[in-house]
Amino acid sequence: MTTLTLPAGAGKLVPYTLKTPKAFPTVKPPFSRVAYAAAHVVADPLADHDPWLTPAIDWDRTIAFRRHLWLLGFGVAEAMDTAQRGMGLDWNDALELVRRSLDAAKDVPGAVVASGAGTDHLAPGPDVTIDAVIRAYEEQCGAIEKLGGRIILMASRALTAAAKSPDDYIRVYGRILSQVKQPVVMHWLGEMFDPALAGYWGNADHMQAMETCLQVIAANADKVDGIKISLLDKDKEILMRRRLPKAVRMYTGDDFNYAELIAGDAQGHSDALLGIFDAIAPAASAALGALTRGDEKTFHDILAPTVPLSRHIFRAPTRFYKTGVVFMAYLNGHQDHFVMVGGQQSTRSALHLAELFRLADAAGLLADPEQAAARMKAVMAVHGVAA
Q: Which amino acid is at 232?
A: L
What Rg value do the Cα atoms of the chain yield, rounded?
20
Q: Which amino acid is at 373?
A: A
Question: In the Cβ-directed half-sphere of 120, how many Cα atoms lie within 13 Å?
Answer: 24
Predicted confidence at residue 29, as pLDDT, reads: 86
| pLDDT tens per residue across all 387 residues of the chain | 799 999 998 889 999 999 999 999 988 889 999 999 999 999 999 999 998 889 999 999 999 999 999 999 999 999 999 999 999 999 999 999 999 999 999 999 999 999 999 999 999 999 999 999 999 999 999 999 999 999 999 999 999 999 999 999 999 999 999 999 999 999 999 999 999 999 999 999 999 999 999 999 999 999 999 999 999 999 999 999 999 999 999 999 999 999 999 999 999 999 999 999 999 999 999 999 999 999 999 999 999 999 999 999 999 999 999 999 999 999 999 999 999 999 999 999 999 999 999 999 999 999 999 999 999 999 999 999 986
Predicted confidence at residue 387, as pLDDT, reads: 67
CB 78 within 8 A of CB 39: yes
Predicted confidence at residue 99, as pLDDT, reads: 98
Write 88-94 long-range contacts (CB < 8 A, 24+). Answer: 88/55, 88/340, 88/341, 88/342, 88/344, 89/41, 89/55, 89/341, 90/55, 90/120, 90/121, 91/120, 91/121, 91/140, 92/121, 93/55, 93/57, 94/120
- Closest by CA to 233, choosing from 213, 262, 254, 263, is 254
Cα 227 from Cα 272, distance rounded (Å): 10
Predicted confidence at residue 15, as pLDDT, reads: 96
Q: Which domains does the chain have, with CATH numbers?
A: 30-307 (3.20.20.70)
Predicted confidence at residue 386, as pLDDT, reads: 81
* Phi–psi pair at 89, nearest 5 degrees: -105, 120
Predicted confidence at residue 104, as pLDDT, reads: 98
CB 98 within 8 A of CB 115: yes
- Closest by CA to 277, choosing from 321, 241, 318, is 321
Using CB atoms within 10 A of its CB, is residue 141 exposed (0-12), middle (13-18) or buried (19+)? Answer: buried
